[in-house]
Structures are given as C-alpha cells and as structure tokens.
C-alpha cells in the first residue's frame, strides 16, 4: 500500500500560496500522491485547476481526484481538462469520479439531480473516447488516458466500476468498512471477467496536535449535509500517531493500494507533522514498511 496526502483545497482560509507550498513539500515527502476533493457550493478550490497548479511545482507525485463530481461537468470539457492535466504533469493524473450526494451543488450547476446516475453512466462510457480522439487533444500522457476510478457505495457503483473503470475509490471510514467495499469491488471485477485486479484507493482525515479539535469542527461543517453522519465522520478523525498506525495497518491488510490522508486544519505544520509521523512509521513514497508498490 502506498500513502498519499490531500491538498488543503477545501479548508477555508488556506491561501493560494500555501496550497502551492503544500504541494511542493508533499513532492519531497513520503507520499505517492496528492489528492483533491470536489465541492461546488463551498469555500473550496476547483479540483482539476488545483492539480494543474500542483503539477507545475511537483515532479513525482501522482495527482488524484478522489473524487470529482463528474455529472456537474460537461463531459467533453472534463475529458479535455483531465487530458490537459495528464499531459502537463507528464502522465501523473488519476481521475476518480462519482455522483456525489449534494443536491445544492447540482442546483448551482443547473444539472438535474434526479437523473445524475444516467448522466454519470453516459460520462463513464464516453470519457475514454474523447481521450482517444485526436480532435479533442491534447493526448493524455498515459496511453489510453489517466486511470479512471469510480466512487460510491450502491450495488450500481460496483457494477459501473467493473464495467467502465480501472479501480475503486472508497469514501472513508474504518478499515472494516473499506474491506467490505473492497470485497464488493473484487466480486464485481471478477464477475465482469476483467483482467488483473481493480486498483483500490481510499481516504482518511487527520489533524495532529492541539489543533485537532478544529479539524473535527471542519469535518462537521464539510459533512453537515449528511445529517447525523457528520458526527461519525468527525469521530473517525486521526489525531494520534497510534491511531494513524492502526488505520494504515487495517487498510493495508484489507488490500488497499493507495490511501490518501486529507488534512482538516489549514496549517502547513500539519503536513510537516504527518511527514514526520509517517517517517517514524517507516512509510516511504514507495509504500508502507518497505512493501513493493503493486
């Protein structure tokens, strides 16, 4: 399992320069990827534009959307933007997509919320066509386009993963919840007779030190739309090296390929703390505990 870190693009008060500096430091840290989240009606940066900026100041890390709410986007334009980030970054983009669950984002984008599933399927069926079509250049740097990940927890999500995508991106939770989703992803993959295995990506939230309380407050705010689950998500915040170590071990044992840790406190010091703790745990950019990358 490899470990990535989230860019602080959804933390209000994080200035542009600090986001860029975060990306630069992450590139020299024990991280294999930089992740971004997507939200329209929120004080946050655009995910693909942020990754384009990060691409310019990094040389190594993969750049991942986990996830982008793709039905909010015009498909051809999304395909072009993703191809652009992939080409500009030398083939480092991983495009995670899902329908999301935020009706306000759909209303703001003028996209019908109730037919989002159908729109999502059409997008999955056509994204790769745009990447292969020279009239929609640039050609992505990765042959066939960036790896495509699908998120979501419904039976349909796993069917879509197996039918259209290269892997699955889990939304967060304890390792047990990930393990269940991973089994579903593998079951769907085997049923579709796809070669090899699905890439399995996941994410968690961290806040270290005295600022941890602020991290929980942020999660309750960011996930307020989920109602009572916001408290559960906040309760899962990783605030100690011990909690982080247990979390990493649980995900690695469940067969996670890449786990992205998202910050919840707008402070570059949080990245430095995470870097130090991961170093102490033996995590390098190549993976957990000297493990070979898959």
Partner 1 sequence: MSGPHRIAILGGGPAGLYCGLLLKKADPTREVTILERNPPTVTYGWGVVFSDRTLDSFQRADPRSYEQIINRFVIWDAIDVRYRGTTIHCGGHIIASIASRDLLGILQQRCAELGVTLRFGTMVDDPAALADCDLLIAADGIHSTVRQAQEAVFEPQITLGKAHYIWLGAERVLDAFTFIFHDTPHGLFQVHAYPFSGTTSTFIVECADHVWRAAGLDRADEAASLAFCQELLATDLGGVALQSNNSKWIQFPSLTTKTWHATLGLGPPVVLLGDAAHTAHFSIGSGTKLAMEDAIALAAALDAQPDVVTALAAYETERRPVVELFQRAAAESRSYFETLYRYVNLPPVPFAFHLLTRSGRITYDDLRLRDPHFGALVDSTYSGVSSARVVPPPLLTPLHLRERTLLNRVALPARPTCPAHDGLPPAAWTAAFTAQAAAGAGLIVTPISAVTSDGRITPDDAGIWSNAQAVAWEHITAAVHAAGPARLLLQVGHAGRRGATRPRAGGLDRPLPTGTWPLIAASALPYTPQSQVPQALDRAGMDTIRAAFVRAAEQADKAGFDVLQIHAAHGYLLAGFLSPLTNQRADEYGGNLANRLRFPLEIVIAVRAIWPFDKPLAVALSVTDGVRGGTVEDAVTVARALREAGCDLITVQAGQTTPAGEAPYGRGFLTPLAARIRNEAGIATLVGGYLTTANEVNTVLAAGRADLCLMEPVDNWH
Residues forming the site for partner 1 (CB under 8 A): 121, 125-126, 128-129, 132, 144, 155-156, 158-159, 162-166, 180, 183-188, 190-198, 228, 231, 255
What DSSP state is assigned to residue 264? -
Smallest distance from partner 1 to CB 100, Å: 19
If the CB atoms of residues 197 and 249 are measured against partner 1, the closer one turns out to be: 197
Contacts of 276 (CB under 8 A, 6+ apart): none
Smallest distance from partner 1 to CB 239, Å: 22
CA gap 49, 73 in Å, rounded: 13
CA gap 98, 216 in Å, rounded: 24
CA gap 150, 161 in Å, rounded: 6
If the CB atoms of residues 29 and 152 are measured against partner 1, the closer one turns out to be: 152
C-alpha triplet 195, 36, 165: angle, nearest 5° = 20
Contacts of 143 (CB under 8 A, 6+ apart): none
If the CB atoms of residues 236 and 241 are measured against partner 1, the closer one turns out to be: 236
CA gap 128, 116 in Å, rounded: 19
If the CB atoms of residues 27 and 231 are measured against partner 1, the closer one turns out to be: 231
**DSSP strand E in 158-246: where?**
167-169, 199-206
Cα–Cα nearest to 234, from 251, 203, 249, 212: 212
Contacts of 187 (CB under 8 A, 6+ apart): 158
Smallest distance from partner 1 to CB 29, Å: 26
Provide φ and ψ at 162, rounded to 5°: -70, -30
Torsion angle, alpha carbons of 25, 31, 37, 43, to 10: -20
Helical residues (DSSP H) of 196-267, grouped into ranges: 212-222, 229-235, 241-253
If the CB atoms of residues 164 and 208 are measured against partner 1, the closer one turns out to be: 164
Smallest distance from partner 1 to CB 46, Å: 27
Smallest distance from partner 1 to CB 59, Å: 28
If the CB atoms of residues 25 and 197 are measured against partner 1, the closer one turns out to be: 197
Smallest distance from partner 1 to CB 200, Å: 8
CA gap 31, 50 in Å, rounded: 17
Smallest distance from partner 1 to CB 227, Å: 8
If the CB atoms of residues 110 and 228 are measured against partner 1, the closer one turns out to be: 228
If the CB atoms of residues 104 and 183 are measured against partner 1, the closer one turns out to be: 183
Smallest distance from partner 1 to CB 145, Å: 8
């Amino acid at each position: 399992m490899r470990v990535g870190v989230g860019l602080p693009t959804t933390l209000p008060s994080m200035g542009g320069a600090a986001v860029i500096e975060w990306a630069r430091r992450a590139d020299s840290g024990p991280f294999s990827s930089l992740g971004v989240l997507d939200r329209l009606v929120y004080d946050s940066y655009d995910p693909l534009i942020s990754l384009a900026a990060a691409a310019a100041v990094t040389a190594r890390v993969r750049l991942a959307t986990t996830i982008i709410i793709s039905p909010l986007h015009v498909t051809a334009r999304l395909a072009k933007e993703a191809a652009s980030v992939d080409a500009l970054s030398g083939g480092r983009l991983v495009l995670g997509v899902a329908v999301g669950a935020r009706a306000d984002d759909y209303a703001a984008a003028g996209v019908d919320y109730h037919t989002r599933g159908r729109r999502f399927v059409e997008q999955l069926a056509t994204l790769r066509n745009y990447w292969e079509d020279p009239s929609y250049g640039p050609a992505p740097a990765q042959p066939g386009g960036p790896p495509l990940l699908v998120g979501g927890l419904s039976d349909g999500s796993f069917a879509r993963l197996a039918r259209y995508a290269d892997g699955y991106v889990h939304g967060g939770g304890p390792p047990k919840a990930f393990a269940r989703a991973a089994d579903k992803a593998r079951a769907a993959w085997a049923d579709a007779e796809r070669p090899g295995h699905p890439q399995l990506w996941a994410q968690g939230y961290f806040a270290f030190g005295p600022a941890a309380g602020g991290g929980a407050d942020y999660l309750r705010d960011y996930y307020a739309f989920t109602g009572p689950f916001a408290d559960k998500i906040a309760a899962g915040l990783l605030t100690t090296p011990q909690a982080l170590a247990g979390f990493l071990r649980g995900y690695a044992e469940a067969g996670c390929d890449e786990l992205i840790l998202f910050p919840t406190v707008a402070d570059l010091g949080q990245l430095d703390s995470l870097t130090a703790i991961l170093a102490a745990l033996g995590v390098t950019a190549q993976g957990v505990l000297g493990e070979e990358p898959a």
